[in-house]
Structure 1
Amino acid sequence: MSTRAVLEVIALDAGDAVAAQAGGADRLELVTDMAADGLTPPTRTFTAIRAAVDIDLRVMLRLADGFAAGDVDRLAGAAGELRAAGADQFVLGFLDAAGGADLTAVERVVEVLEGCRWTFHRAIDRAADRDALRKELADLPGLDTYLTAGAAEGVDEGFPTLRAEARRGGEPGYGQTLLVGGGLRLDHVPELRAAGIGAFHIGGAARPGGWDGPVSAEAVQEWRQVLDRP
């Protein structure tokens, strides 16, 4: 029996969230400031979205563009405030200057999350050594997903890596879900599904009017229909 594919959609506000859920999204990634590639939203935005929809929400923990953690005390404080407001799933990912996982920052934030589920985001696509990063993070509590295109340039370039990592699902460091996003198009879906990948992340693809426009329920529904094809 085939498992329904997971569709995660980026939401900036409650209107986006309602449209994404109406279109068939399974989960939302909550961010602000897409000009900086997605930063931590205000807690009030989380609470408004949480009140508007009943699907899973993963909240971004990121203070500035790039993959350095920056002010780890501020990050931990933001995580704690969101936890107190009811957030129970998160997205984060920090690299050190050498392109390795910034374990100090990641562990500090994960400690505040108290076992909540979280995604390590596309920082993995900028890592000096993806395999080493996965093995370093393997035992952190709550880590259940990697958001990745397989390559910094996007899914077109990352296909070989995505296929290879999907095949390694049972190995140490490879037990997490591959959530594919970053230059993802509808025409990629059949090949990714054939490779055994079952989770997909869209941002701009859900917004026909670009990032200045809202999420379109119809655009999300089109993805849902493609993902649900046998």
Structure 2
Amino acid sequence: MSGLLEVVVVTAEDARRAEEGGADRLMMVGELTGQGRSPEPAAFRRAREACTIPIRPLLRLRDGYRSDGGEITRLRGLIETYLTDGAEGFVLGFLDGYSQVDIEIVRTLTDDGYWPWTFDHAIDRCLDMDDAWTQLETMRGLDQVLTAGSGRGLEQGLDDLIARARSDPKIAELIMAGGGLVPEHVAWLSRAGIVAFQVGSQVRPGGSFAADVDTSLVRGWRILLDAEGMRRAG
């Protein structure tokens, strides 16, 4: 089958163009500072009205991967609002003071939900990635881990990510490769069993989030993943 293509969007126009280009799913963010922040509910609502494919908004209220109990109420409120407005699932990632997965906060946000979620690039900042993966695999609702294999992006993390995928088919199914992804990476990752990919700046003119998503650039990635899917099937 073709690989899953997720596009990072900021506006309703981004969402419309990404779907037109062949995206399977969208991750929506608000402010593009640091690791990104949650979109405003009104902006999410407009994006939801502009397309028909699934959208997962980011759950993050400040820069960095740390949070605290004081933000939980606000995050839960956002979850309910996004769900009411048609969110298919969510993207989140929190680390504790030891740079490991913040199990308490993640479970507080996800255990009562009946929706799928993605753990984001926070995993690439974990001091012990093996332990982080072991913890994540036990979490209810998790169906994707967005990772570059390294905090410095896929250029540095490609080999480690391929090795991890090859070590365990279940992990390969969870991985969504993103963070400096270039077309040349796709074949190597696909051969390791990875079939989900995320692009953001790659589908914007000049590689800048100051520009809108370009439908033709999304379509180029769609064609690439479809061709790789045909190769796997053959």
* TM, length-normalised to structure 1: 0.92
The equivalent of 1:179 in structure 2 is 176
Q: What is the distance in 2 between the residues matched to 1:156 and 1:138?
A: 25
The equivalent of 1:224 in structure 2 is 222
1:79-119 Cα shifts (integer Å, max 9, x gaps)? 2222232323100010011111111111111135x120000
1:171-226 Cα shifts (integer Å, max 9, x gaps)? 6xx37521000011112112212222111101100111411110000111111111
Q: What is the distance in 2 between the residues matched to 1:109 and 1:157?
A: 31
Going by fraction, where is helix more abundant, 1 or 2?
A: 2
Q: Count residues in correspondence.
A: 225
What secondary structure sits across from 1:36 in the alignment? coil
Shift of 1:137: 2.5
The equivalent of 1:15 in structure 2 is 13
The equivalent of 2:132 in structure 1 is 133
What secondary structure sits across from 1:179 in the alignment? strand
Alignment of 1:1-230 (within 5 A): 3-70=1-68, 71-112=71-112, 114-170=113-169, 174=171, 176-209=173-206, 210-229=208-227, 230=231
> Which amino acid letter does the alignment assign opposite residue 46 of structure 2?
A
Moved more, 209-218 or 118-127: 209-218
Question: Does the 8 Å contact 2:164/2:172 carry over to 1?
Answer: no
What secondary structure sits across from 2:94 in the alignment? coil
Question: Does the 8 Å contact 1:76/1:108 carry over to 2?
Answer: no
1:22-73 Cα shifts (integer Å, max 9, x gaps)? 1111110010111233211011122111111111111100111111024222
1:2-27 Cα shifts (integer Å, max 9, x gaps)? x2111100111110011111111111
1:129-150 Cα shifts (integer Å, max 9, x gaps)? 1121122222222101000000
Structure 2: unaligned runs, 5 residues or longer: none
> Which amino acid letter does the alignment assign opposite residue 33 of structure 1?
E
Structure 1: unaligned runs, 5 residues or longer: none
Shift of 1:121: 0.2
- When the two chains are superposed, the root-mean-square deviation of aligned CA atoms in Å is 1.5
Question: Does the 8 Å contact 2:114/2:141 carry over to 1?
Answer: yes
> Which amino acid letter does the alignment assign opposite residue 154 of structure 2?
V
Moved more, 131-140 or 206-215: 131-140
